[in-house]
Structure formats: C-alpha cells, structure tokens
Amino acid sequence: PKEKLESNAFSKCNILELGAGTGLLSIILAALGIFLANNAYLTSNKVYATDIPEILSLLETNIEHNKQVMTKNGSVKAFALDW
C-alpha cells in the first residue's frame, strides 16, 4: 500500500526537467515556487531545465526573459543533457 507523504517530507525539493525545449514548464514551476504531490504542497527552490546542446541557447534566452515572473525563492538553471 502507498503511504501518504507527510506535509514536510520533501520540502525544498529540487526539480529536474528532461527535454525542457523552450523551458515553459520549468519557468512556470519557478514562478509558482510550489508544486503538488500526493495532496501536499512542496516548495521548490531550484528548477533544472535540460535539453540537447542545440536547444540550450533558446532555453537560456527564455529563462533570462522571464526572470521577473519567478518567485524570490525560485530559480531556473539550464544545462545541456543529451540522453
């Protein structure tokens, strides 16, 4: 049986997005600063957006253009990852 998470079990988790493309999801998560898992709100300080090297420039540009919407505790960092 699945156990229910305690409300602070994963507080301040980091998020890794594989194949971020334009980075929209990562930017939204950083802007919200929270995400929901098993009915518990979890805070996220860092979102890591990854994609292939050819997409990295677009990803970094979009992150830079949207810094103003991110929460004071949220941030997105772009990394090349070819998996």
Q: What is the pLDDT of residue 70?
A: 81
Q: What is the pLDDT of residue 69?
A: 86
pLDDT tens, residue order, the chain (83 aa): 455 555 555 556 788 999 999 999 999 888 877 655 555 555 666 899 999 999 999 999 999 999 988 866 678 999 999 88
Q: What is the pLDDT of residue 35?
A: 55
Q: What is the pLDDT of residue 75?
A: 87
Q: How many CB atoms lie within 10 A of CB 22?
A: 15
Strands 40-51 and 75-80 come out as parallel
